[in-house]
Chain A
Amino acid sequence: MDFPVLRGVSYVLVHAPDMLVHMGTTQAVEREANPDSDYLKELSRHLRSYGECKAYPPNQAYIGNITPDELAKIPRPWHENPLVGANRLGGWGEIMPEDEFYALMKAVDSFDLVVLEEGFTAHVAGEIRDDSIWVEDDRERLGTGASASQIEELVGKGQALGLYVGEKLAGCVKAAHESDETLAAHVMAENLAAKASGTLAMRHLAARNGIDSSDIEYVIECSEEACGDMNQRGGGNFAKAIGETSGCINASGCDVRGFCAAPAHALVIAAGLVQSGIFKNVAVVGGGSTAKLGMNGRDHVRKGLPLLEDVLAGFAILVSANDGVSPAIRTDAVGRHKIGSGSSPEAVMTAIVVDPVQRIGLSLREVDKYSPEMQNPEITEPAGAGNVPTANLKLIAALAVKRGEIARGDLGAFVKRHGMPGFAPTQGHVPSGVPSLGYLCDEILAGRIRRAQIIGKGSLFLGRMTNLFDGISFIIESNPGKGEREDEKEAAAIAARVSEAQLRKIVADALRKVAQTLVQPRGGRYE
């Protein structure tokens, strides 16, 4: 059996301090309820500059300039140990400044909702590099901009949400309907940011991996936003919208939702589509979430930390038919939290992690690396949520203890050997397993590890439809080579030797034997 493969990845970040202030829900809710609060007054003093954001070691790990192993060696707090000479571009993507991102939002806006000020437009047009990420159409769509007074009027009348650079209004996103709340300005801004960051990831996927976007046949978008109107709030389709702005002229697509677990669900679906032969190349893409910018800002400010949740994140992954080289997705080892699995941590981890490993005859020790939710602990620990990747690894290690695979005293060593430090921003769907795929693929290709398990988990209770937990996992491993395995090769060779006529004779003989058995008198033949 040929398994589908991971042919390429991309990871992008967008430094978004002003979007944090104006669009992050923590700040927006606070502004609504308590406009003079100390938190809002303190906010600007805790924002990071683009340079600080770029040099932040976890961000450099996300775009592929340092490995998680190298990150682990940098002493914490990481925000006090910036990487000297850090690059904007990484092996898998880039860290884009906010002003250029506003231009990208404008470039991917199909309904003339993003309005940028003329001076800002001229400035940002000069910043845009001529590389494969920007296409000629983008410049045209950027246009020449509108006057500052026009933008002020739109924002002042509540018809648009401001796009700021510091205190200055650089542009706005207009509401797409007068009374439909699902097309309100803040929703359109959120959705256009998801579309633009998804587009950025898709363009890097093609550019960094030598992929022709027109070869992509299907796009699955897996962020946490909903686009639609009041008659179909989550109608979709981000996938096709992003495919359109990324040159995927031969693709269709759809959106898959599942809270933080969505990327893992999407990759399993993509693997299924490829293995079945329905499509040869399926891209999975997720854009960033403006709502989650500064989500734990209160805790970070209270503890005197910088606002570390100041980036939008995106990723894109190409799942393709077996090329004989790229790491394979073991579709026979997909783990899932079933509706009847139960909700205790042990039940959850057994369903998602242990069952699939056991199914293909492996022990937990034989999975070299586990990639659960990869949240950066520097963001979650001050907010009281602990070190998420390490907590997950401890649980897996505890299950290995319980199964008698390792001694209790080896729990710490298991966590260290099979885990990685978290480095992903807390952008909901982004941390869930997939940020490590780039690193893990490299490690597999270099022969340093053989296999890894990617684990996505989702907190479904947030939607108030069910209290059920969710999770799905899959195993990736080194490619055994193109074509069938030895036993299958042998079976195929035998099949090739048997002609159709011979096959008919075999079937006819078998049927005759069955018929004879049926007409024998009860027990007569063997008496």
Chain B
Amino acid sequence: MDLENQRRVKALAEKYGPENLVVVLGGAEAEASGLTAETVTAGDPTYAGPLAGVQLGLSVWHIVEDEIKAEVDPEVYDEQIGIMEMVLDIDAIKEEVSSIRKQYSIY
């Protein structure tokens, strides 16, 4: 996960409290989405960024997960995500991100 984004997530968690933060991912790949989810929950697995060794335990989801999709106006969702739903490996992304969430999310 980009080091600058790690810094921003960390700062937001400190400012608003980790219990008040939900991270919504938009990664196009299951593995990369999983790594990002892991970074904002269990800490940066590459030990390169500000979240190395920091277990924020944030609530983390991917935009293609049904729970998040249900929160969005269907027209807006179709306009913004519709085309990507056709091309991404949605099942793999859902499985990867939900598995990380179950393991490491506290909130």
Interface size class of B (residues with CB under 8 A): 10 to 19
Tell me whether A395 and B32 are in contact (CB under 8 A): no
Tell me whether B86 and A401 are in contact (CB under 8 A): yes
Tell me whether A398 and B87 are in contact (CB under 8 A): yes
B12-20, B54-62, B75-83 - the one binding chain A? B75-83
Assess whether A523 is interfacial by the CB under 8 Å rule: no
Tell me whether A345 and B83 are in contact (CB under 8 A): yes
Per DSSP, chain A at the interface is helix
Task: State how many angstroms separate the Cβ of B37 from the closest Cβ of chain A.
Answer: 12
Tell me whether A398 and B86 are in contact (CB under 8 A): yes
Tell me whether B28 and A386 are in contact (CB under 8 A): yes
Give chain B residues whose Cβ lies under 8 Å from the Cβ of A408: 86
- Residues of B21-42 contacting chain A, CB below 8 A: 27-29, 31-32, 35
Residue from the list B27, B32, B46 in contact with A298, Cβ < 8 A: B46
Task: State how many angstroms separate the Cβ of B34 from the closest Cβ of chain A.
Answer: 8
Supposing A298-B46, A344-B79, A344-B81 touch, asked if A384 and B32 sit within 8 A by C-beta, the answer is yes
Give chain A residues whose Cβ lies under 8 Å from the Cβ of B68: none
Residue from the list A344, A349, A398, A399 in contact with B80, Cβ < 8 A: A344
Residue from the list A298, A346, A411 in contact with B82, Cβ < 8 A: A346
Number of interface residues of A (CB under 8 A): 18
Tell me whether A384 and B86 are in contact (CB under 8 A): no
* Complex: A458 Cα to B46 Cα, angstroms: 26
Task: State how many angstroms separate the Cβ of A375 from the closest Cβ of chain B.
Answer: 13
Supposing A391-B87, A394-B87, A401-B86 touch, asked if A384 and B29 sit within 8 A by C-beta, the answer is yes
Give chain B residues whose Cβ lies under 8 Å from the Cβ of A349: 83
Tell me whether B35 and A395 are in contact (CB under 8 A): no
Interface of B toward A, CB cutoff 8 Å: 27-29, 31-32, 35, 46, 48, 79-84, 86-87
Would you give 21 A-B contacts (Cβ < 8 Å), ordered by A? A298-B46, A344-B81, A344-B83, A345-B83, A346-B79, A346-B80, A384-B27, A384-B29, A384-B31, A384-B32, A385-B29, A385-B32, A386-B29, A391-B28, A391-B87, A394-B86, A395-B84, A395-B87, A397-B87, A399-B83, A411-B86
Q: Which 5 A-B pairs have the closest CB atoms?
A: A384-B32, A394-B87, A346-B83, A398-B86, A344-B80
Supply 9 further A-B pairs (C-beta < 8 A) apart from A298-B48, A394-B86. Answer: A298-B46, A344-B81, A346-B80, A349-B83, A384-B29, A386-B32, A397-B87, A398-B86, A398-B87
